[in-house]
Structure 1
C-alpha cells in the first residue's frame, strides 16, 4: 500500500511553496521549544542511544539538524521530495542524512530497516496529518523501524486541538497567514481521537512505555501576542514485551 497521488501531490505543492526562512511554516518552531523538550522525555526511555535515529516526517529538517547534534547518526525522511530537497539545502554541513520515504510503503520501510538495522524514531505530528486509512500503516512503519531494540517518541495534537484551530480560522482576521497554506493545499488536519492514539501502536505490536501531555507550540501568535499552542499528547513505544507504562 502507498499513499494516494492526491495526498502526495498536496504535500509536494505545500513544501515547494514553503518559505525557506526559519519559522516560515506554522509548525516549524525552533528546537528549543520542540525537539529539545521532547528529547528530555525520550532520553530516559532509550534502551540503546547509540542506535541510528530516524526523524519520520522530517519536513524541512529543522528538528533533524538539532537531533543530529545529539545522536551519532540521524536520518530525516519525508513523503515529499520537495521537503527533502529543502532539508538538504538547509544542512550545508551535512550533519544529517535525508531521504524520501512513503511510510505506508511497507517494502520501502523494510528496506530502510535492512540498511540501518534497529533504530530510534522521532515522530511529530505525522499521524493527524495522515489520511485515516493510512494511520495504521504509519504505526506499522514505526514498529518495523524500531525492531527489537529501538524506541519511538511520538507526539500528536490531542482532540482538543481541533477547537483551537477552528477558533483561529473563524477569528475576525480569518486564519493566521501561516495557517492558510495548510488549507490552501488541502492539508487540513484530520481528527484523531485521544482513545485511538495509543491503540494504533498497540495494534502494530508495540508496547507503550511512557505517556504524557505537552502542548505543541506553533510559530504563529494570537492577536494578544501569545504563541499559539495546540493541546497534544506524547508516548514512547518499543517492541512488545518491554515494560509497559
Structure 2
C-alpha cells in the first residue's frame, strides 16, 4: 500500500508553489507556539537518549527545533519538494530529512529497523491524509517506536472547522496561505469525532496521556493573534 497518486500530486504541487520559508505555509507556526509546548507535554514520558522522527515534517521548522533536544532528529515527508525545502532551510545542518510515504508499511519498517527505536512527533498529519490512507499513516508510528520510544500525536478536532470557516470568510476573501491549500484540493480539519483515538488503538498503540489544547497556525487574525485550532493530543507507547 502507498499514498494515492492524487495525494502525492497534491503535496508535490503545494510545496512546489510554496517558498518553503519558515512561516510560509498556513500551519507553519513558530516552534515556541508548537514544538515547545508539545515537548512539555511529552517530557514526562520520553527517553531523550533516543532519536526523534518528525512525521510529515514539511519544510522542517519543527524538526530543527526538535534537534536541539534529542541526539538526532529526522524529518520525513511524502513530498520530495518539501524535503528539498527542509534541507535548504537547515543552514546549520542540525537535522536530517528524507522522503517517506507513511502509507507504505515496508518503507516505514525499513526506517524503523535503521533507527532501532525512536520517539515520534506527528503534528496535524492524519487530518490531511486521504481517508483511505489514515489507518496506515497512524500505524506508521508503531514500528518507529521500537520498545522504548514514545510518540506525540496531535490533530485538530471537528471544532476547528468553524475557525477555518471564519478565516475563509474574511472581508476581501481568504488569505493567500489558505488559498494555497485550497488550490491543491486539501481539506483541513476533516477527522470525524472519535476517529483519532480509534486509529491509535487500531495501530497497536497504548495511550499514556491525552488532552485538549490549541494548535497554533502561522496565519494570523486581523488583530495579529495567531489562528489557533482546537486540537486533541495524545502521548502514545507501543502496545504489548
Give TM-score scaled by structure 2 length: 0.97
Report how far residue 226 of structure 1 moved: 2.5
Alpha-carbon separation, structure 2, partners of 1:73 and 1:156: 24
Report how far residue 5 of structure 1 moved: 1.0
Aligned twin of 1:196: 195
Alpha-carbon separation, structure 1, partners of 2:32 and 2:170: 29
Question: Any conservation in 1 of the 2:54–2:120 contact (CA below 8 Å)?
Answer: yes
> Aligned to 1:37, what secondary structure does the other structure show?
helix
Alpha-carbon separation, structure 1, partners of 2:172 and 2:197: 36
Alpha-carbon separation, structure 1, partners of 2:29 and 2:224: 16
Alpha-carbon separation, structure 1, partners of 2:110 and 2:5: 22
> Aligned to 1:172, what secondary structure does the other structure show?
coil
**Which blocks of at least 5 consecutive residues in structure 2 are unaligned?**
none
Aligned twin of 1:157: 156
Alpha-carbon separation, structure 2, partners of 1:117 and 1:63: 22
Aligned twin of 2:176: 177
Moved more, 205-214 or 220-229: 220-229
Report how far residue 190 of structure 1 moved: 5.0
Query: How many aligned residue pairs are there?
Result: 240
- Could you report, residue by residue, the CA deviation over 1:85-144 in whole angstroms, capped at 9, with x for unpaired residues? 000001122111100000000010010011111110000010000011111001111011
Report how far residue 154 of structure 1 moved: 0.4
Report how far residue 192 of structure 1 moved: 0.8
Report how far residue 218 of structure 1 moved: 1.2
Q: Superposition pairs for residues 1-245 of structure 1, below 5 Å?
A: 1-46=1-46, 48-241=47-240
> Aligned to 1:215, what secondary structure does the other structure show?
strand
> Aligned to 2:93, what secondary structure does the other structure show?
coil
Give the ranges of 4+ consecutive aligned residues of structure 1 lying more than 6 Å apart after TM superposition.
Answer: none
> Aligned to 2:176, what secondary structure does the other structure show?
coil
Alpha-carbon separation, structure 2, partners of 1:190 and 1:213: 15
Alpha-carbon separation, structure 2, partners of 1:75 and 1:115: 12
Alpha-carbon separation, structure 1, partners of 2:172 and 2:221: 10
Moved more, 111-120 or 223-232: 223-232
**Which blocks of at least 5 consecutive residues in structure 1 are unaligned?**
none
- Could you report, residue by residue, the CA deviation over 1:161-205 in whole angstroms, capped at 9, with x for unpaired residues? 011112222333221221110001111225112311111111111
Alpha-carbon separation, structure 2, partners of 1:225 and 1:93: 30
Alpha-carbon separation, structure 2, partners of 1:57 and 1:225: 27
Give TM-score scaled by structure 1 length: 0.95
Question: Any conservation in 2 of the 1:131–1:190 contact (CA below 8 Å)?
Answer: no
Alpha-carbon separation, structure 1, partners of 2:226 and 2:92: 31
RMSD: 1.2
Alpha-carbon separation, structure 1, partners of 2:174 and 2:119: 36
Alpha-carbon separation, structure 2, partners of 1:105 and 1:20: 25
Question: Any conservation in 2 of the 1:130–1:190 contact (CA below 8 Å)?
Answer: no
Report how far residue 21 of structure 1 moved: 3.0
